[in-house]
Structure 1
Amino acid sequence: MERLRKYGFVAGFLVVPLTLYSVFVISPYVQAFQLSLTSWNGYSAIVRYVGLDNFGRLLGDEVFWQALRNHGLLLLALPLTTLVIALFLSFLLNLGGGARGAGMRGVWGSKFYRVVFFFPQVLAVAVVGVLFQAIYRPDEDGVINGLLAKFGIEPVGWLIEPGLALWSVMAVMVWQGVGFYVVLFSAGMAAIPKDYFEAAAIDGAGRVRLFFSITLPLLRDTVQVGWIYLGIAALDGFALIQVLVGDKGEPDGATTILPITIYKNAFSFGKVGYASAMGVALFFLTVTFAVLTLRTTRRERVEL
């Protein structure tokens, strides 16, 4: 009876959040799966089921494959670049100062640098997009091109040249995301007993050895989580790309991604059923990425 009363008390608190989650998260997913089997245009009262035809069309859609290629590049470059920079900065801010007195210290001014690195994280995506529109302007009024002009270098079309557009967008994503992972890894480093570092430092281990022999192995689980988060970010990117370059995927499809393609098919072309099929494909792509990452990076837990 006592256990029943306890579980009833807990369930009472969970009813409202679980109901809201089911209505606003689970239900749209279920509806998307249903709509992916139709040719609904978004406003007609008549819904015609077409089975798996929408998924068959995806296989021959060059825009869909271009978006997948762009996501593949983002999946390879974005997590790796962001995590490497964040790990390097976190190590400097927490342990880069070496052994001082009774323990390990970060570099001078590390508390100030933490605020500076995290600042981009608090900016709205729209604000970041507008900011980098000014930075990436293809004429000498742009911040970067203005600096290049002082050295006699011709303006560069950072967002209008096919070979640079996606990399320029990725640089913005890295700039905005690094601060969060610096904080995440700093928290992980704070949980590592400082005795490990002090003992290694006494034995003559340098900063590089401390990082690769102690810090990185004990942060493996945290890095794994960060990789999954960044992979999901690489499969999204809708708001930033929409603000920076619009929804046309220009130049030459260099910035075409699935969320923007889904948006265009649903709200510009009136192909809600087809857009839902793309959404289902994106859902399974995201789940597959997360599962594969968890399985390939799984290891025995290190006990501290």
Structure 2
Amino acid sequence: MQHGKYRFIVGFLALPLIVYGIFVISPFVQAFQISMTDWSGLVGTARFIGLENFERLWNSDEFWNALRHNVYMLVGVPIVTLGLGLFFAFMLNVGGKRRKNEVITGVTGSKLYKFVFFFPQVISVTIIAVIWFNIYNPDPQDGMLNSLLGTVGLDGLQNSWLGEKSIALLCISAVMVWGHVGFYVVLFSAAMASIPRDIYEAALLDGASRFDTFFKITLPLLWDTVQTGWVYMGIIALDAFALVQIMSVNMGGPDGATDVMPLRLFQTAFRDSQFGYASAMGVAMLIVTMTFAVLTMRFARRERIEF
């Protein structure tokens, strides 16, 4: 019986593992192989050069500049996105006024709010980038943000936004937060729906404030969901290719202020035809992403709370 069980398991998993190996593992192996060459993209032009691409990468100021920007986004974007997602989900589900015979209730119209928050998720990232590129338009008449500031008498706050080196990356990061916070509102709302209302009601009857119920009940019980969301959002922050490519000045400008690793990889491969060097960047990105995921799962791990 045991041998029959193992044969069934192997037979059941064999095809999915083969498909996964071909379409997921194999490209990673090929990328590492290409990173050891000076391939220009033309058939038959690859020449093995060992670790020279990685040595060049280590000494590249452009790569470290792009990596630094990714790290900034990796730290800031998930914190703000998950924080806002938790806050809005908590208010929508348990932040309403107490009604008759109900101790815990969400705000009025919470379903409509969830739809509004989630709406950016159904829009292509390209469309989001184009919309916000026009919002950030520095023209006081055509740019929606500058036009709005001028209308309310805040002309002093008008800026070139994406053309300002000190805030360009922050502007793009804000768009990333706007585009993803709705997903986490819905995700955390679904997780909160599984928490028994009796726990909240008992806490409030004992005199606990909304602040206490959030940090002592909601957050601990949602920690596994938050941890997974942190890894997912971190990987998105490490990418940011589409937004930067479409929104930034001259693809990564001004003066490299919004350059990120995926954009640097894209330009190296398809503009400069240095596919071996670009593959080395891809391997470096894989290492950074895996390190981030492992560290997050390791240090954010805590004892599971059952309810």
Same fold (TM over 0.5): yes
Give 2:282's aligned residue: 279
Contact 1:33–1:280 at 8 Å: present in 2 too? yes
Contact 1:258–1:278 at 8 Å: present in 2 too? yes
Matched to 2:131, the amino acid is: L
Matched to 2:137, the amino acid is: R
Residues in 1 aligned to 2:21 and 2:97: alpha-carbon distance in whole angstroms:
50
Contact 2:245–2:252 at 8 Å: present in 1 too? no
1:241-280 aligned within 5 A? 241-245=244-248, 248-280=251-283
Per-residue deviation, 1:98: 5.0
SS of match in other structure, 1:295: helix
Give 1:149's aligned residue: 150
Same amino acid, percent of matched pairs = 51
Residues in 1 aligned to 2:127 and 2:10: alpha-carbon distance in whole angstroms:
41
Contact 2:244–2:251 at 8 Å: present in 1 too? no
Give 1:191's aligned residue: 194
Give 2:4's aligned residue: 4
Matched to 1:197, the amino acid is: Y
Give 1:21's aligned residue: 20
Give 1:57's aligned residue: 56
SS of match in other structure, 2:283: helix
Residues in 2 aligned to 1:143 and 1:59: alpha-carbon distance in whole angstroms:
42
Matched to 2:232, the amino acid is: Y
Distance verdict in 2 for CA 1:7–1:96, change over 3 Å: farther
Contact 2:88–2:185 at 8 Å: present in 1 too? yes
TM-score by length of 1: 0.94
SS of match in other structure, 2:155: coil
Contact 2:36–2:276 at 8 Å: present in 1 too? yes
1:1-304 aligned within 5 A? 4=4, 8=8, 11-12=11-12, 14-100=13-99, 101-102=101-102, 104-140=104-140, 141-150=142-151, 151=153, 153=155, 155-245=158-248, 248-304=251-307
Per-residue deviation, 1:114: 0.4
Matched to 1:183, the amino acid is: V
Residues in 2 aligned to 1:295 and 1:21: alpha-carbon distance in whole angstroms:
26
Query: CA offsets per residue over residues 31-89 of structure 1, 9 Å max, x none?
Result: 00101111111114132111111111111101101011101110111011111111110
Cα RMSD after superposing both structures: 1.8
Per-residue deviation, 1:298: 1.2
Matched to 1:153, the amino acid is: D
Query: CA offsets per residue over residues 220-258 of structure 1, 9 Å max, x none?
Result: 111111111111111101112112126631011111000
Contact 1:99–1:201 at 8 Å: present in 2 too? no
Per-residue deviation, 1:24: 2.2
Per-residue deviation, 1:209: 1.3
Residues in 2 aligned to 1:299 and 1:133: alpha-carbon distance in whole angstroms:
41
* Greater mean alpha carbon deviation, residues 103-112 or residues 280-289: 103-112
Contact 1:247–1:260 at 8 Å: present in 2 too? no
Contact 1:37–1:52 at 8 Å: present in 2 too? yes
Residues in 2 aligned to 1:80 and 1:152: alpha-carbon distance in whole angstroms:
29
Residues in 2 aligned to 1:152 and 1:113: alpha-carbon distance in whole angstroms:
29
Contact 1:139–1:156 at 8 Å: present in 2 too? no
* Greater mean alpha carbon deviation, residues 146-155 or residues 27-36: 146-155
- Structure 1 spans left out of the alignment, 5+ residues: none
Residues in 2 aligned to 1:54 and 1:30: alpha-carbon distance in whole angstroms:
16
SS of match in other structure, 2:266: helix
SS of match in other structure, 2:294: helix
Query: CA offsets per residue over residues 103-129 of structure 1, 9 Å max, x none?
Result: 521011101100000000111001101
- Structure 2 spans left out of the alignment, 5+ residues: none
Matched to 1:93, the amino acid is: L
Residues in 1 aligned to 2:5 and 2:51: alpha-carbon distance in whole angstroms:
48
Matched to 2:186, the amino acid is: V
